[in-house]
Structure 1
């Protein structure tokens, strides 16, 4: 985890780590999709990118928020020092839903890009509060078992894949100018870019995996780092052997740019 957390049980400590890892994966996917919306706002791919983001929001983010309101938030609200925090988190859920609705109604691509960026910023701040304040408070309390609360809650822990990937397919098209290929014929400007230099080190790999997991075969992204990410590539190969092709576009000394494409 990115903060030092004292849990009442080992099971709760593991549950907290899984929640934070899933949060990082969601942040990575949202960053990739939002980047597509911003990058294509003045192109003929703007609507495809907007629909890809909306599909993910409906399938992943909105159910995640609903699951929190059914499980984690009611328990945390019973802890005196977390009560005001929960109220603030619920207000942020209202704002998130409002921004999703604004994005759905947006007719102008530039306006849609503004809503998408605002949503990404709000969600990042929201996750930080959950990771650094809400979850540690819950797992430290002997009155509640976070591990038990999360049993079977795929929306909070990830690991499910029960939607039709329509949004993923749209993201593939947005990232490759409307065609799907693994030939490397597209240029860097057409690839979604994930700059990991601004992501906290503790959740960096999980964030990257979240972005990569959303790619369809033939799709790719441009990874930007401040070092040669050899440990990441080794972990990726162990996690999904042979699933991604890697091509270096820039190799230091200050910036590394790698194209990662799903086979």
Structure 2
């Protein structure tokens, strides 16, 4: 049963859907950044520390503030519902686990340890968001004496203001160029990390790519492996990061499309 079906009014339904959409973005971006960290740990450990620091920065500016905002708004209201009291206690414990894994990632002294901490963080965070989407939000949206829309009013950390910061930084650092399907900007680096999105759920796929390319510093590249020609995705990347990425097709089907994406 969907949150929309359980919501006590249309505003609460819209608020729940906004939170779920932001959850998808956060989970996808985290997955993309972790994938790049694991790839660096396996193939290019010299660059893994830079990728790790970028992942920690994302956690500090987006992921952890989102958890803090939930503890200030959603969780106190949910804890007043008898059916949700133990659930909220468990969710708070998971928040402590998420923060501990971010700290482990921050303090990792090797690429392997950083990759392990990043992957553990991704798994816990995805399971945590699934509980929020399927348990916490429906309970709040369906409670007649709770206004979910009112709880979320002005709570930008729950609804995604952090991504505007990222887009502004990317646009400020863009250096012009085609940003589309061309042969320029190729890399001879044998250790270019590869992100294969063919097995990633469709709902997370674009957000995962956005997170991965956000972790690619200027002058470096990544290889994107997709199940089809990702023209709509490339258009979205160009819209978010005008001129920042040169794209070269390395393979055009039939089972996979491989694209070298170089951050100018």
Give the alignment's TM-score, normalised by structure 2. Answer: 0.77
Q: 1:212, 1:243 → 2: CA distance?
A: 10
**In the alignment, is the contact (CA less than 8 A) between 1:24 and 1:207 conserved in 2?**
no
Residue in structure 1 matched with residue 225 of structure 2 by the alignment = 224
User: Matches of 1:9 and 1:70 in 2, distance apart?
Assistant: 23
Structure 1 residues 251 and 46, CA gap change in structure 2 (3 angstroms): same
Q: Which runs of 5+ in 2 are unaligned?
A: 171-183
Shift of 1:77: 1.5
Once the two structures are TM-superposed, the CA of residue 163 in structure 1 deviates from its matched residue by 6.3
**Given the two structures, how large is their TM-score scaled by the length of structure 1?**
0.77
Deviation sequence 1:106-153 (CA, Å, 0-9, x none): 223322221111111111111111122222222222222222222221
Residues 70, 28 of structure 1: CA spacing in aligned structure 2 closer, same or farther, 3 A cutoff?
same
8 A contact 1:220–1:259 mirrored in 2: yes
**Contact 1:54/1:100 (<8 A) preserved:** yes
- Residue 140 to residue 196, structure 1, CA distance change in 2 (3 Å): farther
1:176 alignment counterpart: none
Contact 2:221 2:260 in 1 (8 A): yes
1:70-116: CA deviations, max 9, x gaps? 11111122223222221211111111111122222222332222111
Matches within 5 A, 1:24-173: 24-41=24-41, 43-160=45-162
Deviation at 1:240, TM superposition (A): 6.6
Tell me how far 1:199 sits from its aligned partner. 3.0
Cα distance in 2 for partners of 1:238, 1:46 equals 28
CA offsets per residue over residues 206-257 of structure 1, 9 Å max, x none?
Answer: 4444545666666654333223334444555666776654433322222222
What is the CA–CA distance in structure 1 between the aligned matches of 2:59 and 2:121, rounded to whole Å?
Answer: 10
Return 197-206 or 148-157, whichever deviates more: 197-206
Which residue in the other structure is 1:178 paired with?
A: none
Q: CA RMSD in A?
A: 3.3
Q: Flag structure 1 segments of 5+ consecutive residues without an equivalent.
A: 169-181
Do the aligned residues in 1 keep the contact of 2:30 with 2:208 (CA within 8 Å)?
Answer: no
Which whole-Å CA distance do the structure 1 matches of 2:53 and 2:160 have between them?
22
Structure 1 residues 118 and 251 mapped into 2: Cα distance closer, same or farther (>3 Å)? same
Distance 1:143 1:135 in 2: 14
> Which secondary structure does the structure 2 equivalent of 1:190 belong to?
coil
